């Protein structure tokens, strides 16, 4: 089995892509940690969606998860570095908008947890998506973030709000 620990982070430093060392509380590392948490929440949501009735939602969430991994890779690429992974945030945004437009959401707010467990988990993912969006905007001040990623994150939380209310 490959050894998982390296001991190189024991003193509070970690690596960006290409080996550049930064503190573990660097805004890029913090942002990626928040994205990683969102990705895990989305995995829970995807696992709870019905494999037949919710196939479109499962596929869209999986596409979002893959794109979040690419976003994390770009965030971890030092300024001036080249990242071979292509962003598809604009395409994901369009898919999220189409899903929102297809929904029968009628408006209004709900208190999370009053309906199904699935709805409660989707709300949890939605709040984490908002946290990620805020962290991305903070990061953007010092380390430019692709504008399409910022838009995608805003639309993702909208989509999750609609999905949560559909699953209520």
The reply to whether 9 falls in a domain is no
Is the pTM of the predicted complex or chain greater than 0.75? Answer: yes
The pLDDT tens digits for 141-159 are 999 999 999 999 999 999 9
Contact assessment for residue 34 and residue 135, using Cβ atoms and an 8 Å cutoff: yes
The reply to whether 3 falls in a domain is no
Contact assessment for residue 143 and residue 27, using Cβ atoms and an 8 Å cutoff: yes
The reply to whether 5 falls in a domain is no
The reply to whether 57 falls in a domain is yes
From the CB of residue 13, how many other CB atoms can be counted at a distance below 10 Å?
13
Residue 37's pLDDT band (boundaries 50, 70, 90)?
Answer: very high
Per the structure, the count of domains in the chain is 1
122 CB burial (10 A radius; 0-12, 13-18, 19+): buried
Check which CATH number belongs to the domain holding 153 and give it. Answer: 1.20.1200.10
The reply to whether 124 falls in a domain is yes
Query: What are the b/e assignments for 54-82, b being 16+ CB within 10 Å?
Result: beebbebbeebbebbebbbebbbbeeeee
Domain coverage including residue 149: 19-76+85-166
Q: What is the mean pLDDT of residues 117-139?
A: 97
Beta strands in 18-166 (DSSP E): 21-23
């Amino acid at each position: 089995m490959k050894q998982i620990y390296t001991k190189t982070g024991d003193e509070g430093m970690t690596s960006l892509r290409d080996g550049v060392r930064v503190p573990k509380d660097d805004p890029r590392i913090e942002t990626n940690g928040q994205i990683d948490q969102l990705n895990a929440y989305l995995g829970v949501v995807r696992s709870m969606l019905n494999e037949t009735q919710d196939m479109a939602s499962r596929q869209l969430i999986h596409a979002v998860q893959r794109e979040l991994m690419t976003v994390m890779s770009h965030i971890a690429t030092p300024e001036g570095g080249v990242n071979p992974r292509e962003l598809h945030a604009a395409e994901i945004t369009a898919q999220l908008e189409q899903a929102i437009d297809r929904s029968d959401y009628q408006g209004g707010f709900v208190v999370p947890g009053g309906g199904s467990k699935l709805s409660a988990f989707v709300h949890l993912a939605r709040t984490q998506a908002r946290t990620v969006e805020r962290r991305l905007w903070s990061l953007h001040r010092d380390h430019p973030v692709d504008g399409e990623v910022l838009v995608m994150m805003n639309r993702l939380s909208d989509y999750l709000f609609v999905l949560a209310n559909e699953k209520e």
